[in-house]
Amino acid sequence: MINQDKRKALLAAAQKVRNEAYAPYSGFRVGAAVLSKDGSIVSGINMENSSYGLSVCAERNTLAAAVAQGKHDFEAIAVVSEGGVTPCGACRQVIYDICGDIEIILADTDGTVRKSTTTKALLPDAFGDMDLKKEGA
């Protein structure tokens, strides 16, 4: 678990960026921020599309931005949404694959933490890179 100062900064970043979410169809805005082990924070938002299947969640957008910036080791991710909902199944898998078992902080739009959990708790028996061993290797 990360310390209170890091938690506060991470939540503030996710809460702030949530206002930039592109959600013209559902109106359900989500902001996320990931804390790299080097101390940097990268944030992102959900982006809806009129072809709903092409919409992308804030968690996946945030991790893509972080990786694009050369970040690869993460401590925690914060997600801010109405009600402080948990990541969808696809995001749980991506978080596990990119970050491993990290802290996931879920907060409401006013910054109230609704739940603090881990990747493994949200995705038990996850499929990961260790499952991809090639035959004969």
Residues serving a catalytic function are: 59
Burial of 104 (0-12, 13-18, 19+ CB in 10 A): buried
**CB-CB contact of 14 with 80 (8 Å):** yes
Calculate helix-pair angle for 89-99, 58-68, nearest 10 degrees.
Answer: 20
Token representation of residue 116? 């603090």
As beta bridge partners, residue 113 has: 107
Q: What is the DSSP letter of 81?
A: -
